[in-house]
Amino acid sequence: MAVSVRIPTILRTYTAGESEVGADGTTLAEVLDDLERHHGGIRARVLDDEGGLRRFVNVYVGNDDVRFLDGLQTPTPDGTQISIIPAVAGG
Amino acid sequence: MSPSLSLPPLVEPAAELTTDEVRRYSRHLIIPDVGMTGQKRLKNAKVLVIGAGGLGSPALLYLAAAGVGTLGIAEFDEVDESNLQRQVIHGQSDIGRPKALSARDSIAEINPLVEVVVHDERLDNDNVMRIFEGYDLIVDGTDNFATRYMVNDAAYFLGIPYVWGSIYRFDGQASVFAPKQVEDAPCYRCLYPEPPPPGMVPSCAEGGVLGVLCASIGSIQVNEAIKLLTGAGEPAVGKLVIYDALELEWRKLKVRKDPNCRLCGEHADVTELIDYDAFCGAISEEAADAAAGSTISVTQLEHMLKEREEGSRDFVLVDVREPNEYEINQIPGSVLIPKGEFLNGNALEQLPPVDSGTQVVMHCKSGVRSAETLAIVQGAGYDDAVHVGGGVVAWVNQIDPSQPAY
């Protein structure tokens, strides 16, 4: 697997409880497509109906929020760590 | 590597420490980065903690013990038994008391030198600016998106930095927002421009939270507060600290200022407090529409269940909560189909066919999730489907108090 994706607690129902899963793809869009193939339903939690990144879920490639990189076209070279960080409000 | 960021201390030092204070704070005084001057700054500091709940409990206790001179507590709620699993500032004998007063009493026991200001009211647009004014720093430990956006905006308008923390199940997040203090520093809206739509992200009351996670994140918030007040170290401005308790992993990610931020960006259009309930929505429009005219009470449900038993009525009662909630309590005669099954479309085949004429009655814990599933089921053609207002909470309160509530 080319990249690893950290899955937050709230989305682990899609990954059978796994906190980190592997995926293939040279851009974030391709990685999300690959994730969807193996963990059906998860892409819709990250992307909205128009296919854009949801504004209450942040996706980090390495240490950076992709909203400030190239969004879904952000390159994901082999070994990249991707993190999905959803807004939570508990206190 | 980003350049290291240190900030001038937020607070000027108090004139002196008394002999009692020197004795009490001696373990701080001998740390070079705190010392007499740092401790005098803490003594002079006014910190407002929002919420005396999961995060507020450890935050208030440690800020008090550390010698923060004035501690404000903004909290309107009362202590409930289900709070005690994590809200360690309250005790068994506090059940039913206002949390703000219970917290004040615990602080007096931890450190009688702290002056406590109680704001025993629900934060809203009418009082938030008045309550915030005069504080050097805010620690946000609220439990809902609407209040979090309101806190962010009010703190920005008043130029007060704040330490933010948030928790869910085994995940914690924390950051420091100081857009008026640090050039190019982000605010909460830069991190999350919009709240999730209602129903998409469960609250701790719906999804649960590991009690001790509150201490992990609450203590990080105090750590950042002390650094900001005394000027020690590098505060988490422009950093998102995330904690995964299951993996025992802390990470620190970059948070950038969003040039398009509606509050602090170049073309900001949020220039005063907005309607935060409408912004965050307690319930989606579809769910509100579905629930209007299709909501029954637990008393009605009890009556319907009796009729079903006598054979004069036919319906299926669907509990849309999660299996672990179903283990805690249930309305007799219900079948469990969790909400997720409705969202992914698998639930419909578990229901009697639309043309069978069997009515679908749905409930959850309090009526929010079942309103969401009601919209889906009605959309699939079950025109006479209804949901139970108040859910199993109302059932236990009004019909069957012998079952535990949660």
Rounded to whole angstroms, the Cα distance separating B295 from B299 reads 12
Tell me the CB-side half-sphere exposure of residue B239, using CA atoms within 13 A.
18
Q: Where are the domains of chain A?
A: 2-86
Tell if the CB–CB gap between B253 and A63 is shorter than 8 Å: yes
Q: How far apart are CA B62 and CA B214, in angstroms?
A: 13
| pLDDT tens digit sequence for B260-295 | 999 999 999 999 999 898 888 767 778 878 888 898
Are A10 and B169 within 8 A, CB to CB?
yes
At B366 the pLDDT is 85
> A34 to chain B nearest CA, in Å?
19
More confident residue, B199 or A20: A20
Using the Cβ of A19 and the Cβ atoms of chain B, whether some distance falls under 8 Å is answered with yes
The per-residue pLDDT for B270 is 95
Q: What is the pLDDT of residue B1?
A: 42
B242 closest CB neighbour out of A10, A41, A85 = A85
Q: Is the Cβ of A4 closer than 8 Å to some Cβ of chain B?
A: no
Domain boundaries A2-86, corresponding CATH code: 3.10.20.30
- Give Cβ neighbours of residue B78 (< 8 Å, ≥ 6 apart): B96, B97, B98, B99
How far is the C-alpha of B129 from the C-alpha of B137, rounded, in Å?
14
- Chain A contact present for B267, CB below 8 A: no
- Between CA B13 and CA B6 the distance in angstroms is 18
Q: How many CB pairs under 8 A join A and B?
A: 97
pLDDT at B282: 67
Q: Report the phi/psi class of residue B161: left, alpha or beta, with left for phi > 0 and alpha for psi in -120 to 50.
A: beta
Q: What is the DSSP-derived secondary structure letter of residue B398?
A: I
Distance from CA of A58 to the nearest CA of B (A): 8
Three-point CA angle B184, B188, B192, nearest 5° = 110
Residues of chain B with pLDDT under 50: 1-3
Q: What is the largest CA-CA distance in chain A?
A: 37
Rounded Cα–Cα distance for residues B21 and B42 (Å): 12
Q: Measured between CB atoms, which of B51, B193, B247 is closest to A55?
A: B193
Among B114, B61, B121, B69, which Cα is nearest to B91's? B61
- For residue B91, which phi and psi values (nearest 5 degrees)? -125, 180
With contacts defined as CB-CB under 8 Å, which chain A residues touch B194? 55-56
Alpha-carbon distance of B192 to B239, in angstroms, equals: 13
Task: Please give the full DSSP string across B28-57, using - where no structure is assigned.
Answer: HHTSTTTHHHHHHHHHH-EEEEE-SSTTHH
A-chain residues within 8 Å CB-CB of B169? 9-10
* Two tokens, residue B350: 């578990």
Closest residue to B201, CB basis, from A19, A60, A88:
A88
Please count the residues of chain A.
Answer: 91
pLDDT band at A40 (very low <50, low <70, confident <90, very high): very high
- Summarize the confidence of residues A63-73 as an average pLDDT: 95
Strand partners, B316: B360
Q: Which two tokens stand for residue A67?
A: 């909203």
CB spacing of B166 vs A90 below 8 angstroms: yes
Residue B152: closest CA among B226, B8, B142: B142
Pairing of strands A64-65, A57-61: antiparallel
- Give, in degrees to the nearest 5, the angle at Cα A55 between A54 and A56: 95
- B204 carries an active-site annotation: yes
In eight-state DSSP terms, residue B95 is: T
Check CB contact under 8 Å for B204 and A90.
yes
**A47 with A53: CB under 8 angstroms?**
yes
Confidence of residue A1 (pLDDT cuts 50, 70, 90): low
- C-alpha B56/C-alpha B403 separation (Å) is 30
Active-site hit among B190, B204, B214, B261: B204
Chain A residue numbers touching B340 (CB-CB < 8 A):
13
Put simply, whether B344 touches A (Cβ < 8 Å) is yes
pLDDT digits (tens, 9 = 90+) for B169-208: 999 999 999 999 999 999 999 999 999 877 677 777 777 8
Q: Using alpha carbons, select from B128, B184, B194 the residue that is nearest to residue B158.
A: B128
Q: Which of A55, A64, A88 sits opposite B167 (nearest CB)?
A: A88
A23 closest CA partner among A79, A70, A69: A79
- Closest residue of A to B86, CA-based? A91
